[in-house]
Structure 1
Amino acid sequence: MPGTRLLLRYIRNIEAITEEEQERIFKAHVAVVGCGGLGGYVISHLARLGVRRITAFDPDVFAEHNLNRQLFSGLSSLGRSKVEVIEEALRDINPEVEFYGFKGRFQDFWTDDRGDYTVVIDALDNLKDRRELAGWCRAKKLPLVYGMVAGWYGQVGTQFPGENTLDKICHLAGKEKGVEEKEGVLSFVPAIIASIQVAEAVKIILGRGELLRNKFFLIDLLDMETEILAW
């Protein structure tokens, strides 16, 4: 383990995980594709857990309609690059994190980024980009954790190389744009789905627990119902 200062930062992790597992979290490199409703919460969780290297991709700036649900949005951040705002915030949350932010679509940077990822987290909002991201992860033999949100509802799944769960989900959806645009998103839904995504990523890093592989987790927060579909 690191010295006393870092131990105090992570002391509440211990018992839930071992010190050796905390070291594995330190050494992980996680890519987060999308820095909006899901991505902001994902990045915050990863930084607080102790993931030392986080790479993020997002071409957008914060807009007023983001204020209802996006963790790092605020009046002072309107019009500013999401990855730049997040990078500044992480210096205060956990200065040990090496954050690599790319201001653009992930497709434009795959050959230029830091690579060597442990896991990739999909925080996108449309099916076309999700398909492309899943294809890239398959080609690079990387595990992918994806999440989707709309209204009161959320969905999470994990896809390993050689699996095609996300393709099946996208086929069932039948639209390029996610239902988020039609149904809106309430602030607590991305927070919950992002938390489940990070839990999946940590289990991948640690090689521990039951993953949502070849499964699809759905949650209805209005009627407080959950379901897991297996493929």
Structure 2
Amino acid sequence: MHQLQGFLTSHAPDGLLPWGAQEESAERFGLTLHQVEEAALAAGILPARYQRNGKTLSVEQQYKLFKSRVAVIGCGGLGGYILEELARLGVGDIVAVDFDVFEEHNLNRQLLSCPDEIGRLKVDAAAERVAKINPAVKFTAFSEAFATENGPVILEGVQVAVDALDSVGARLTLADICNELKLPFVHGAICGWYGQVATQYPGDAVVEKLYRSCTEDKGMEKIYGNPSFTPAVIASLQVAEVCKVLLGQGETLRRRVLYLNLLDMELEELQL
């Protein structure tokens, strides 16, 4: 370990470690890229890929993100953008859950989809994408539906769960399990020009309050669909919430929901 730290320090005279030096370190010392990045951050050395985070996040905060494990439930419209942003942000351990495959109607908005991917499992495309974006990230894929039976196993070791689902029932199940496991949970939903974001902490009943009078499992998305921009906006807000929860920084959307009307460019906040 002493030799590794010496190598990393010598290749980061300005405090920034180039990607080539990370790859060389992994090969020279027989380590994974994840292990090299952890060693660099622990030593106060910032991988150069995160240098534009530097004015917003300290090296210590970057290290905290790297040591975090986040679960994204759903790899479709919201999930694809959430996974992309978490990997680029530097969250070091990501869990993705989705049983579905890509269909042609996904192509208008789902970041991970393309014509060649039709019929492919979404979690497989997610794993490939994250590996291309940031090979230092650990990625665990579950190609199954999230349910009461498998939820505790999927969320084992997770600090935050992220809702990228399109089913009311599955959302309520996720919220219930997060409460049981005492996990924070970031909710997001989209419908046409509209979306909403909220953060539920253990003991809260945010999702239950939002959906307790809902009679349709698929909600309004089934009627209005979604254009390309709505999931990108809501997913970004969800990732911002995840970042704040992990770092214990700023004010989250706890016990309140943020409604977005992108057609009239209006924001509304409702206390829960």
Give the TM interval when normalised to the shorter protein: over 0.9
Partner residue in 2 for 1:132: 173
Among 193, 200, 205, the residue aligned to 2:234: 193
Q: How does 1:35-184 map to 2 (within 5 A)?
A: 35-107=75-147, 109-113=150-154, 115-184=156-225
Give the 3 Å change call, closer, same or farther, for CA 114–141 of structure 1 in structure 2.
Answer: closer
Partner residue in 1 for 2:255: 214
1:132-171 Cα deviation digits (max 9, x unpaired):
1100000000000010000000000000010001101002
1:161-190 Cα deviation digits (max 9, x unpaired):
100011010024443222111101011000
Q: For structure 2, which runs of at least 5 residues remain unmatched after alignment?
A: 20-46
Q: Give 1:126 shift.
A: 1.2
Q: For structure 1, which runs of at least 5 residues remain unmatched after alignment?
A: none
Q: State the identity %.
A: 46
SS of the residue 1:106 aligns to: coil
Give the 3 Å change call, closer, same or farther, for CA 114–214 of structure 1 in structure 2.
Answer: closer
Q: TM-score, normalised by structure 2?
A: 0.82
CA distance in 1 between partners of 2:217 and 2:153 (Å): 27
Asked whether the 8 Å contact 1:59–1:103 carries over to 2, the reply is yes
1:172-227 Cα deviation digits (max 9, x unpaired):
44432221111010110000000000000000000000110000100000000000
Q: TM-score, normalised by structure 1?
A: 0.96
Q: Give 1:5 shift.
A: 2.3
Among 47, 60, 68, the residue aligned to 1:28: 68
Partner residue in 1 for 2:18: 5
Q: Give 1:114 shift.
A: 6.4
CA distance in 2 between partners of 1:106 and 1:94 (Å): 26
Correspondence 1:230 to 2:266: no
CA distance in 2 between partners of 1:15 and 1:109 (Å): 40
CA distance in 1 between partners of 2:76 and 2:83 (Å): 10
CA distance in 2 between partners of 1:228 and 1:137 (Å): 24
CA distance in 2 between partners of 1:90 and 1:229 (Å): 35
**Counterpart code for 1:134:** A
CA distance in 2 between partners of 1:180 and 1:153 (Å): 10
RMSD: 1.5
CA distance in 2 between partners of 1:111 and 1:41 (Å): 24
Q: Give 1:110 shift.
A: 2.6
Asked whether the 8 Å contact 1:102–1:109 carries over to 2, the reply is no
**Counterpart code for 1:149:** I
Q: Give 1:90 shift.
A: 1.4
After TM superposition, the structure 1 stretch with the greater mean CA deviation from structure 2, 172-181 or 88-97, is: 172-181
Give the 3 Å change call, closer, same or farther, for CA 62–125 of structure 1 in structure 2.
Answer: same
Q: How many residues align?
A: 231
Partner residue in 1 for 2:35: none
